[in-house]
């Protein structure tokens, strides 16, 4: 289990990617009232934890779920998915 407070940020990243089909820093900035740099740091940290879940698209400046996307962090919160 993650113990440094990233859980909520990472759960939101997975949830938005899963439901909306993409996630970007604006989602985290609006929800948590954080800076773009902070939001980017959380997404980069998430990618280190789950390297095969998201792929960045430069033209849309968003991260898209890859074909092998799996719900990892949300499983801690919602084990019946």
| Complete DSSP assignment for 13-71 | HHHHHHHHS-B-HHHHHHHHT--HHHHHHHHHHHHHHSTTTEEEETTTTEEEE-TT---
The parent domain of residue 38 ranges over 7-77
How far is Cα 68 from Cα 77, in angstroms, rounded to an integer? 21
In a domain, 61, yes or no: yes
Residues 4-45: tens digit of each pLDDT: 568 889 989 999 999 999 999 999 999 999 999 999 999 999
In a domain, 17, yes or no: yes
> pTM score, two decimals?
0.81
Q: What is the CATH number of the domain that holds 23?
A: 1.10.10
Residues 35-66: tens digit of each pLDDT: 999 999 999 999 998 899 999 999 999 999 99
In a domain, 33, yes or no: yes
């Amino acid at each position: 289990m993650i113990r440094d407070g990233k859980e909520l940020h990472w759960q939101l990243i997975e949830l938005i990617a899963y439901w909306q089909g993409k996630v970007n820093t604006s989602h985290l900035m609006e929800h948590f009232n954080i800076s773009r740099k902070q939001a980017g740091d959380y997404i980069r940290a998430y990618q280190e934890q789950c390297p095969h879940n998201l792929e960045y698209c430069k033209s849309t400046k968003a991260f898209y779920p890859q074909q092998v996307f799996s719900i990892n962090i949300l499983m801690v919160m919602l084990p019946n998915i």
